[in-house]
Amino acid sequence: PLDTTIPDNALVCLIGAAGAGKSTWASTWPGTQVLELDRFRALVSDDAGKQEATDDAVFALQAVLEARLARGLMTVVDATNSETAVRAGLIATARRHGVPTVALVVPTPASVCVERQDGRPDNRSVPAPIVRAQHAAVVDAWPGLPGEGFDHVVVAENIHRLEPLLQRLSD
């Protein structure tokens, strides 16, 4: 049976290539619950696309993550999370705080992720080879996610949180 469980007060790790639709899913949670890496890049450098600022952005994101999990608050990490080591760090942090973890995989085809880079501002447009590499990493990672220690592995398409959201947006 498909796991569609997202417990309250969990750490939700979005997983998907650039353009997969992670931030769109994240927007179904209240804004303060979403830690978006691009936003932290902007906070530390005034430029959401500045890759050189990633280390500082990750450091700042982790500080907020620790503070929220210490309070047992629902937290959604909106980043590609396509690297095993990044996911391992998030799981370890959640474990330290006794918080359940959810991998929320956004399974958009690579070709669609690449197409969606067109029309993005230059500083936010990810080159196609990088998008394809992220996508391949997610495909490789997906069968192993339960073994990595996620308490729940949910495929975004199997839950319907987005429908009420899109309805609201079109009203």
Q: Kindly report the CA angle at 146 between 144 and 149, in degrees rounded to 5?
A: 110
Closest contact distance (angstroms) between CB of 70 and ligand ATP is 27
Which range, of 17-25, 50-58, 86-94, 95-103, touches ligand ATP by CB under 6 A?
17-25
Q: Is residue 19 at the binding interface for ligand ATP, with CB under 6 A as the rule?
A: yes
Closer by beta carbon to Mg ion, 121 or else 147? 121
Q: Which of 20, 34, 76, 103 binds ligand ATP (CB under 6 A)?
A: 20
Q: Is residue 16 at the binding interface for ligand ATP, with CB under 6 A as the rule?
A: yes
Chain-centroid distance, C-alpha 32: 15
Closer by beta carbon to ligand ATP, 9 or else 33? 33
Question: Rounded distance, CA 54 to CA 59, Å?
Answer: 9
Question: Rounded distance, CA 22 to CA 126, Å?
Answer: 15
Site string for ligand ATP, 108-147 (x = CB under 6 A): --------x---------x---------------------
Candidates 74, 98, 102; CA nearest to 87 is: 102
Q: Is residue 27 at the binding interface for Mg ion, with CB under 5 A as the rule?
A: no
Question: Rounded distance, CA 119 to CA 117, Å?
Answer: 6
Closest contact distance (angstroms) between CB of 70 and Mg ion is 26
Site string for ligand ATP, 23-42 (x = CB under 6 A): xx-------------x----
Number of residues that bind Mg ion (CB under 5 A): 2
Q: Is residue 23 at the binding interface for Mg ion, with CB under 5 A as the rule?
A: yes
Q: Return residues touching ligand ATP (CB under 6 A).
A: 16, 18-24, 38, 80, 116, 126
